[in-house]
């Protein structure tokens, strides 16, 4: 296949400004031949199926950096040390006996190791592990939807937790869940950032969560990626965004000004995409700290040099790729070695202990939804050692947290203690989780949305074959008339915090009168409790086995309907209270001579609108 002009620049085939006339003539002739052959076969290196262009696409990986078999997944359950707890509830210090007790345990999980001096060692007992509750939580966190009762029985029954977590983490759904998370962190927006760059970053995130690159390499690439540099206006803003992403705090004044010097080469701009027929936002390189001859300027080189973490200079020299009018170069023409040089800010931050500490804190917050390490800092220390032991494979931290007692224990039952780590996490689901669960369990076709393309209408308005094909190859689905995408799913999800456009913020989770009304409207359409003719999901999904929808309801039949729906929606057996309520309502329905369908549809509405579908 013929090389494009961009590929020739990458491979150093084009001459520099100081090349000889003979070299110039040879290259120009060769370039004309290459461009002619490229024009004939119509291939200019852009694919609507994979539009990603950038440093992640150039990055060659040979497979996972570890085997993905992480220790700590199957620690034994232990009894707390038999000590008398103080009446005021204050945890005593872990003295010599406590330390000896924890050292005697055979923990492999780093979270359990760190927790022991604040849990079992001081006489506290975690909540018990409920397999159905925990399996349900794992499915939501790792693959983005609730499982059915049959899925829980097949997947989680009598299997070690380490094996279950490993299998879920090996799925593409786990990768997709984390791609969506980083879309929120980086605020993908196709009006603010080129769609080619967004797809490139999304590809990079996929490599991280398949274990193909280490987390510090990921941070380095992000630090010089247009998804970050184009999203912010000034060098100082870019430095601040980097600190927030990977250290979890804003930089001090000296840190901001120092790292900003390494962002002085970046300039916001645009480029016209020939295939899409669109003007896209992207980053450009402006050549700072060089003289008119393209050499390093000793008088200004300090403006491109960081000195806070040692002497680190970042200067690129211009060549034939520079636009004569602006004196800048489009970042799409950068060579791989130049991308690597520009990643200096991320490498400097990744060399700090705080970088690795924030990396594990982010995973803890993702799964526990509270700041465990503020109260029990030993957990952070153990997790950082664990992560470095696995060469920066961030999956090792996910595995450790997900198989720890802090995560696996129940959030229900006896009134919890004031110590947050003695009972399990309880979180609100994202909008996509709630919608995807209902649509999958009831086999409702709802065209989704694509987290990489915030404004699909822009691509349709471009009225080019490539722009339309790009949408067709995405997770958006075009309507039959081709004038817009289906928005039933995205409109509902965006109003509930999902399918974010990322103008200023990402997805959110909230309970309000407005969101509750929208959820109830959707459930009403699905279940049709008012029995409107021809509406609602097929009644066969809401009835057990081959039950006749016209069957007269009795207390026994009402109980069977509720047991079926609880298993379908909640993934568990119906409680005694739920069965008793079903029989009681069944008796009332029997007096009214209700049919099975007339009982099943209101039952569906009650179950799908309950808190158990919104919290897990």
| 86-90, 309-313, 463-467, 520-524, range with the lowest pLDDT | 86-90
| 195, pLDDT greater than 90 | yes
**Average predicted confidence (pLDDT) for the chain:** 91
Confidence label for 124 from pLDDT (cuts 50, 70 and 90): very high
Supply the pLDDT for residue 44: 52
Q: For the chain, give me the number of helices (H) and strands (E)?
A: 29, 5
pLDDT digits (tens, 9 = 90+) for 430-440: 999 999 999 99
pLDDT for residue 29 is more than 60:
no
Query: Helices 195-209 & 215-223, crossing angle to 10 degrees?
Result: 170
Question: Could you tell me if 353 and 93 are in contact, meaning their C-beta atoms sit under 8 angstroms apart?
Answer: no
DSSP line for 430-487: PHHHHHHHHHHHTT-------TT-S-HHHHHHTT-HHHHHHHHTSS--B-TTSSSB--
The residue among 181, 213, 251 whose CA lies nearest residue 58 is 213
Name the range with the highest mean pLDDT among 35-49, 251-265, 500-514: 251-265
**pLDDT above 60: residue 17:** no
Distance CA 105, CA 119 (A): 13
Contact in structure between 348 and 259 (CB atoms under 8 Å): yes
% of the chain surpassing 70 pLDDT: 93
Residue 254: the pLDDT is 97
Give the sheet arrangement for strand 266-273, strand by strand.
266-273, 278-286, 328-330
The residue-averaged pLDDT of 204-210 equals 98
Per residue in 530-544, pLDDT (tens digit) is 999 999 999 999 999
Name the band, by pLDDT with cuts 50, 70 and 90, for residue 417.
confident
Question: Roughly how many angstroms between the first and final C-alpha of the chain, as a whole number?
Answer: 52
- In our burial notation (b when 16+ CB lie closer than 10 A, e otherwise), range 480-496 reads eeeeebbbebbebbbeb
Other CB atoms within a 10 A radius of the CB of residue 616 amount to 20
Using only the alpha carbons of the chain, give its radius of gyration: 29
- What is the C-alpha separation between 573 and 136, in angstroms, rounded? 13
Quick check: 481 and 460 in contact, CB under 8 A?
no
Q: Which of 528, 547, 563 is nearest to 595 (CA)?
A: 547
- Looking at the predicted structure, is the pLDDT value of residue 13 above 90? no
User: How far is the C-alpha of 612 from the C-alpha of 607, rounded, in Å?
Assistant: 8
d(CA 414, CA 430): 27
Overall average pLDDT of the 446-457 stretch: 96
**Pick the residue with more confidence: 122 or 16?**
122
Cα–chain center distance at 279 = 28
Angle at 176 between CA 248 and CA 481, to 5 degrees: 120
Q: Classify 383 as helix, strand or coil.
A: helix
Percent of all residues in the chain with a pLDDT value above 90, rounded to a whole number: 86
Closest listed residue to residue 614, CA positions, set 423, 349, 432, 373: 432
Q: What is the mean pLDDT of residues 123-130?
A: 94
Mean pLDDT for 568-582 is 95
Q: In this predicted model, what pLDDT tens digit does every residue of 307-341 receive, in sequence order?
A: 999 999 999 999 999 998 999 999 999 999 999 99
Q: Distance between CA atoms of 69 and 72, rounded to whole angstroms?
A: 10
Vertex 509, ends 505 and 515: CA angle to 5°?
110
Residue 26: pLDDT above 60? no
pLDDT in tens, 461-506: 999 999 999 999 999 999 999 999 999 999 999 999 999 999 888 8
The phi-psi region of residue 416 (left if phi > 0; otherwise alpha if psi is between -120 and 50; otherwise beta) is: beta
Q: Cα(453)–Cα(344) distance, rounded to whole angstroms? A: 29
Q: Looking at the predicted structure, is the pLDDT value of residue 162 above 70?
A: yes
Spatial contact of 561 and 542, defined as CB atoms under 8 Å apart = yes
Domain positions in the chain are 5-41, 177-350, 431-495, 513-613
Distance CA 474, CA 388 (A): 36
Residue 390 CA from chain centroid, whole number: 21
Q: Rounded mean pLDDT of 406-434? A: 91
Cβ(179)–Cβ(35) under 8 Å?
Answer: no
pLDDT band at 608 (very low <50, low <70, confident <90, very high): very high
Compute the average pLDDT of residues 235-245. 98
Say what the pLDDT of residue 342 is.
98
The label of the residue with tokens 């029985």 reads 153
Calculate mean pLDDT across residues 405-422.
Answer: 89
C-beta separation of 151 from 440 below 8 A = no
Name the band, by pLDDT with cuts 50, 70 and 90, for residue 131.
Answer: very high
Q: What is the mean pLDDT of residues 78-83?
A: 94
* pLDDT, greater one: 154 or 38: 154
- CA atoms of 203 and 193, how far apart (whole Å): 15
Please state the separation of Cα 265 from the chain's center in Å: 30
Confidence of residue 414 (pLDDT cuts 50, 70, 90): confident
Count Cα neighbours of 272 within 13 Å in the Cβ-side half-sphere: 2
């Amino acid at each position: 296949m013929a090389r494009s002009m961009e590929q020739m620049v990458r491979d150093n085939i084009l001459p520099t400004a100081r090349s000889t006339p003979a070299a110039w003539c040879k290259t120009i002739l060769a370039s004309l031949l290459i461009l002619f052959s490229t024009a004939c076969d119509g291939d200019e290196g852009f694919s609507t199926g994979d539009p990603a262009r950038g440093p992640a696409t150039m990055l060659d990986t040979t497979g996972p950096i570890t085997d993905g078999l992480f220790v700590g997944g199957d620690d034994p359950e232990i009894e707390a040390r038999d000590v008398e707890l103080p009446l005021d509830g204050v945890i005593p210090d872990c003295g010599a006996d406590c330390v000896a007790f924890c050292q005697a345990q055979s923990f492999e999980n780093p979270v359990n190791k760190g927790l022991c001096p604040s849990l079992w060692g001081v006489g506290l007992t975690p909540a018990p592990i409920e397999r159905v509750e925990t399996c349900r939580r794992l499915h939501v966190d790792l693959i983005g939807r609730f499982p059915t009762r049959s899925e829980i029985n097949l997947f989680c029954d009598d299997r070690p937790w380490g094996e279950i977590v490993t299998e879920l983490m090996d799925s593409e759904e786990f990768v997709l869940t984390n791609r969506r998370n980083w879309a929120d962190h980086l605020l993908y927006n196709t009006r603010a950032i080129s769609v080619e760059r967004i797809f490139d970053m999304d590809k990079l995130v996929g490599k991280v969560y398949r274990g193909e690159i280490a987390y510090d390499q990921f941070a380095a690439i992000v630090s010089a990626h247009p998804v970050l540099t184009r999203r912010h206006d000034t060098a100082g803003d870019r430095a601040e965004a980097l600190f927030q992403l990977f250290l979890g705090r804003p930089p001090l004044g000296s840190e901001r000004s120092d790292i900003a010097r390494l962002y002085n080469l970046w300039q916001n701009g645009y480029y016209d995409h020939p295939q899409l027929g669109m003007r896209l936002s992207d980053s450009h390189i402006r050549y700072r700290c060089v003289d008119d001859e393209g050499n390093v300027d000793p008088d200004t080189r300090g403006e491109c040099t960081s000195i806070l973490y040692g002497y680190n200079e970042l200067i690129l020299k211009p060549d034939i790729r520079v636009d004569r009018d602006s004196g800048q170069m489009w970042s799409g023409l950068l060579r791989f070695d130049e991308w690597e040089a520009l990643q200096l800010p991320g490498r400097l931050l990744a060399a700090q202990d705080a970088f690795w500490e924030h990396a594990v804190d982010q995973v803890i917050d993702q799964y526990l939804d509270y700041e465990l390490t503020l109260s029990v800092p030993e957990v952070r220390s153990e997790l950082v050692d664990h992560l470095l032991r696995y060469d920066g494979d961030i999956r090792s931290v996910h595995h450790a947290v997900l198989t720890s007692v802090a995560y696996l224990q129940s959030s229900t039952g006896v009134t919890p203690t004031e110590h947050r780590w003695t009972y399990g996490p309880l979180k609100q689901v994202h909008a996509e989780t709630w919608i995807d669960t209902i649509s999958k369990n009831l086999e409702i076709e709802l065209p989704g949305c694509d987290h990489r393309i915030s404004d699909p209408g822009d691509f349709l308005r471009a009225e080019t074959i490539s722009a339309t094909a790009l949408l067709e190859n995405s997770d958006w689905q075009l309507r039959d008339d081709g004038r817009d995408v289906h928005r039933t799913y995205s409109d509902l999800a965006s109003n509930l915090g999902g399918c974010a456009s990322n103008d200023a913020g990402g997805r959110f989770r909230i309970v309000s009168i407005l969101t509750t009304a929208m959820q109830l409207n959707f459930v009403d359409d699905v279940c049709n409790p008012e029995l409107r003719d021809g509406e609602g999901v097929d009644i066969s999904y809401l009835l057990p086995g081959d039950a006749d929808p016209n069957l007269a309801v009795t207390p026994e039949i009402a109980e069977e309907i509720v047991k079926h729906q609880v298993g379908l929606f909640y993934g568990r057996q119906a409680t005694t209270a739920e069965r008793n309520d079903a029989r009681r309502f069944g008796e009332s329905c029997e007096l009214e001579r209700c049919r099975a369908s007339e009982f099943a549809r209101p039952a569906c509405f009650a179950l799908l609108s309950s808190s158990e579908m919104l919290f897990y």
